[in-house]
C-alpha cells in the first residue's frame, strides 16, 4: 500500500471511529436529557376540533408523552397510542366537583366521595393515569379560612383511597380575575396551606402558570418556593391564553429552565388555545419548552 492509499484508509477509518463515538455520545446525551427533565403533555380540550384518536397519533409524532384532562372513557384511546393521561378528570353528578361547585361545600362531600371512590380505582386499573384533577369551588360569600377547612375535611376522606391505589389528587390553581370569577383556590399560598392541612403525599397542587401569572406574577420564585406542594404544571400565553410564543409576556424558555433547575420530573401540560394552525403551534410550544 502506497502512502496516499494508507492516508486515505486511515482517514476513512478515523472518520468511522469518530462517527461511532459521536453516535454513542448523542445517545448518552439523549438518554440523560430524557431522564434529567420533565415530560411533555397536552390538554385535548384546547384542540377539541381534532378528534381524540387522530390527535393522539399526531402528538405522539412530536415526542409528547401524554394527552390529559380526559374522562375515564377516553383513557384507553391515549393508551392505544402508548400515551399517558397525566391528569385525568372524573365525571361527577349534577355539576358537583366542577370548578365552581366542589370541595369547599360540605354538602358536596358525600357525592364527591362517591365519585372518587369509583374513579380512583378506574385510574389505577387504566395504568396510564397517575393523577386526577380536583377543584375548590367558588367562594359565594364564604371566607377563605372556612373554605380551607371544608376542603381539607372533604379531601381527607378520599386520601386513603388515593394512597391505596397510588393516585395523586391535584387541585388546580386558577385565576379569579379574568377566567373564573370568585374561585377560591386562586393563590399558591392558600393552596399550599391546604396541602399541609390534608397532610398526604397523594394530595398536591396543579400550578397553572397562565392563571398564576394573572393572579400573582413572580411565577418562578413562587413555584420554586412551593415546589414540594406541586405535582403538575400547565402553560398558556398571557394575556389571552393563546400561543406561548414571543407575542405574550411570559418567557417560557426561562420558566422551563427553572422547572428543570428545581428538579421537576413530572409533566408540563400545554393548555393554550391556538389562534394559528393548532398542530404547528403545539410543535413550536414543545420546542420552546424543551430545555
pLDDT digits (tens, 9 = 90+) for 43-53: 999 999 999 99
Phi/psi class of residue 127: alpha, beta or left (left: φ > 0; alpha: ψ in -120 to 50)? left
pLDDT digits (tens, 9 = 90+) for 123-133: 999 999 999 99
Q: Specify whether the CB–CB gap between 109 and 157 falls below 8 A.
A: yes
Q: What percent of the chain has pLDDT over 90?
A: 86
What's residue 6's pLDDT?
Answer: 42
The alpha carbon torsion through 232, 235, 240, 245 (nearest 10 deg) reads 170
Residue with cell 385525568: 88
What's residue 119's pLDDT?
Answer: 97
Nearest to 169 by CA among 120, 233, 128: 120
Q: Specify whether the CB–CB gap between 112 and 151 falls below 8 A.
A: no
Helices vs strands, H then E, count in the chain: 10, 7
The mean pLDDT of 146-158, rounded to a whole number, is 98
CB atoms within 10 A of CB 48: 12
What's residue 151's pLDDT?
Answer: 98
First-residue to last-residue Cα distance in the chain: 50
pLDDT digits (tens, 9 = 90+) for 1-22: 444 444 344 344 444 433 443 4
Looking at the predicted structure, is the pLDDT value of residue 218 above 60?
Answer: yes
Q: Where are the domains of the chain?
A: 37-289
Give the Cα separation of 192 and 175 in Å (integer).
16
254: which 3 cell numbers?
426561562
pLDDT confidence tier of residue 93, bands split at 50, 70 and 90:
confident
Looking at the predicted structure, is the pLDDT value of residue 36 above 60?
Answer: no
Nearest to 228 by CA among 260, 195, 252, 256: 195
Q: How far is CA 112 from CA 37, 117, 134, in A?
A: 34, 8, 10
What's residue 98's pLDDT?
Answer: 97
What's residue 195's pLDDT?
Answer: 98
What's residue 14's pLDDT?
Answer: 44
Q: Specify whether the CB–CB gap between 163 and 172 falls below 8 A.
A: no
Residue 51 β-bridge partners: none
For the domain covering 37-289, report its CATH number: 3.20.20.150
Residues 6+ apart with CB under 8 A from 118: 90
Give the Cα separation of 59 and 45 in Å (integer).
14
What's residue 28's pLDDT?
Answer: 37
Amino acid at each position: 500500500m502506497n502512502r496516499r492509499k494508507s492516508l486515505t484508509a486511515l482517514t476513512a477509518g478515523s472518520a468511522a471511529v469518530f462517527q461511532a463515538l459521536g453516535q454513542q455520545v448523542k445517545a448518552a446525551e439523549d438518554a440523560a436529557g430524557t431522564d434529567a427533565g420533565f415530560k411533555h403533555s397536552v390538554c385535548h380540550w384546547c384542540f377539541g376540533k381534532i378528534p381524540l384518536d387522530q390527535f393522539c397519533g399526531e402528538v405522539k409524532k412530536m415526542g409528547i408523552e401524554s394527552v390529559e384532562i380526559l374522562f375515564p372513557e377516553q383513557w384507553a384511546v391515549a393508551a392505544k397510542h402508548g400515551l399517558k393521561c397525566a391528569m385525568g378528570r372524573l365525571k361527577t353528578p349534577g355539576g358537583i366537583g366542577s370548578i365552581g361547585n366542589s370541595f369547599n361545600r360540605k354538602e358536596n362531600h358525600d357525592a364527591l366521595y362517591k365519585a372518587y371512590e369509583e374513579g380512583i380505582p378506574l385510574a389505577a386499573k387504566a395504568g396510564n393515569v397517575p393523577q386526577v384533577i380536583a377543584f375548590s369551588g367558588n367562594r359565594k360569600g364564604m371566607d377563605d379560612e372556612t373554605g380551607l377547612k371544608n376542603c381539607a375535611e372533604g379531601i381527607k376522606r378520599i386520601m386513603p383511597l388515593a394512597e391505596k391505589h397510588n393516585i395523586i389528587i391535584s387541585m388546580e390553581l386558577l385565576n379569579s380575575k379574568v377566567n373564573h370569577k370568585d374561585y377560591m383556590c386562586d393563590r399558591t399560598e392558600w393552596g399550599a396551606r391546604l396541602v399541609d392541612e390534608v397532610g398526604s403525599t397523594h394530595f398536591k397542587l396543579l400550578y397553572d402558570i397562565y392563571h398564576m401569572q394573572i393572579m400573582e406574577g413572580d411565577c418562578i420564585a413562587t413555584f420554586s418556593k412551593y415546589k414540594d406542594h406541586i405535582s403538575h404544571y400547565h402553560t398558556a400565553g398571557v394575556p389571552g391564553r393563546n400561543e406561548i410564543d414571543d407575542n405574550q409576556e411570559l418567557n417560557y424558555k426561562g420558566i422551563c429552565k427553572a422547572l428543570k433547575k428545581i428538579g421537576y420530573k413530572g409533566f408540563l401540560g400545554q393548555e393554550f388555545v391556538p389562534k394559528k394552525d393548532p398542530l404547528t403551534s403545539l410543535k413550536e410550544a414543545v420546542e420552546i419548552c424543551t430545555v
